[in-house]
Structures are given as structure tokens and as C-alpha cells.
């Protein structure tokens, strides 16, 4: 079973997998970074200004918020086998 001409699927791959996903990731990263920076440095509520308190978990929270919680390889493999059925 083929996917068509290399030019057809190659262009779709280039547009979505390379440019599209990188653009979405960049926009989500900028948005999450902006929100976390606002909360850490400029919010009016003193309790939310975590940067002034030296809260080191802020960097970890920002990373997990932007990239999501890591999945185990076993969970990923089982979800692939269920969807193939």
C-alpha cells in the first residue's frame, strides 16, 4: 500500500510535521512562558510572586505545563496496540 507520490506526501509532511508542529510548539511555549513570568514577577497578589520567594519549583512547573507529563514507554505501546485493533 503506497501513500501516493513522494512530492504529494513530502509536501504534506514538510508543511505539517516540520513547519506546523514547530510553529504550534513555539506559540504554546511563548504563551506559557509569558503567563508564568507574569505570575512570578508582576501579579498583584503577593502570594503568587514566586520569583521573589526563590521558589525553584517554578521552572519545573513551567516545563511540565508546556510539554506535558512524560508518559511511560509501556503506556505508549499499549495505546498504539489498542488503536490498531
For position 5, what pLDDT does the model report? 76
For position 1, what pLDDT does the model report? 54
Q: What is the CA 1 to chain-centroid distance, rounded? A: 33
| Angstrom distance (rounded) from CA 6 to CA 23 | 24
Q: What is the reported pTM?
A: 0.56
Domain residue extents for the chain: 26-67
For position 63, what pLDDT does the model report? 73
Long-range contact pairs involving 29-32 (C-beta distance under 8 Å, separation at least 24): 29/66, 32/62, 32/65, 32/66
For each successive 10 residues of the chain (85 residues), what is the average pLDDT?
72 87 89 82 78 72 73 62 53
Amino acid at each position: 500500500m503506497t501513500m501516493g507520490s513522494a512530492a504529494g506526501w513530502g509536501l504534506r509532511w514538510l508543511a505539517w510535521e516540520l513547519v506546523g508542529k514547530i510553529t504550534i510548539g513555539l506559540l504554546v511555549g511563548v504563551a506559557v512562558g509569558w503567563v508564568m513570568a507574569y505570575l512570578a514577577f508582576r501579579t498583584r497578589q503577593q502570594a503568587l510572586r514566586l520569583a521573589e520567594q526563590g521558589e525553584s519549583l517554578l521552572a519545573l512547573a513551567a516545563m511540565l505545563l508546556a510539554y506535558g507529563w512524560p508518559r511511560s514507554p509501556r503506556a505508549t505501546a499499549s495505546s498504539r496496540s489498542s488503536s490498531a485493533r
